[in-house]
Amino acid sequence: MPPETIPVIAGQTVQPVEYRKIQSLTYQVAGIDLRDGKEALVASRLHKRMRELGLTDVSRYLHVVEADRTGLELITLIDALTTNFTSFLREPQHFDFLRGVIVPALSMHDSLRIWSAGCSTGEEPYSILFHLAQALEGKRLAGVELLATDISTRALGVASSGIYPAERMKELPEAWRKRFFQRGVGEQEGMVRVREEWRSRVRFRRLNLMEEFNSVPAMNVIFCRNVMIYFDKPTQQRLVRRFAERLEPGGWLLIGHSEGLMGMEHELTYVMPAVYRKPSGRKG
């Protein structure tokens, strides 16, 4: 990029060598394929954090990141660059599939383990839970184990609090609004919060998908939607294989409708667009 078009952060330019360093850090740590052409986005995202630290030089900020042995500033950098766009009932076909196919198929199971990988600010795992609450009752609902993970501590803070603008509820059925949410009053007017009895059913946890996740138990269903679009093909394939290892035989992997596993080597079987299943191992 010509020098005159290099984005400005807090009065300083983002030099090509600095951008390459940011690209390298985000790829190595989070698997994010930060391609050329994202310089302006990176500039605007880092501006706020640098201002908080009283820094006006990008190279000095990167030095702070690398010198922080706790790794917290690196997490903050990833947080700043991570896009956390999501919504309740996003790509609703998956929730119809969950209720209409997956739940009946596992009707004889005492437990149902679901992992929302890349849960962002929590709308996805809560949507999963609300659908299950309608499809299951009593003992079977109590047997649901719902794990929700994300690399962004900022997003997880919102998710665990379960607080959202009331206008986000317009897309939800009225019965859901009454059953699962409570309206804010006073200073919280205009906001809603997922009721504690439902928040407590989701286990939120920070997890970087590029790191080992052997501590995650075997799952019946893994939702990882609109996450792999940020990774290159080799990273996507490694992640899909690792997801397959964490699936129970016969378990399902649900990905975003803008994603696909074409051209990858894996053991999963195509079911329908954005839905794959691990072979059960049963014959006949």
Catalytic residue ranges: 45, 150
Give strand pairing partners of 113.
Answer: 145
Task: Give the helix, strand, coil percentages of the chain, each rounded to 5.
Answer: 45, 20, 35
The one-letter amino acid at 38: K
Backbone angles phi, psi at 270, to 5 degrees: -65, 130
Question: How many Cα atoms sit within 13 Å of 237 on the Cβ side?
Answer: 7
Q: What angle do CA 134, 136, 141 make, to 5 degrees?
A: 115
Burial 13-46 (b: 16+ CB within 10 A, else e): bbeeebbebbbebbbebbbbbbeeebbeebbebb
Please give the structure tokens belonging to residue 111.
């437990």
SS (H, E, C) 1-36: CCHHHCCEECCEECCHHHHHHHHHHHHHHHCCCCCC
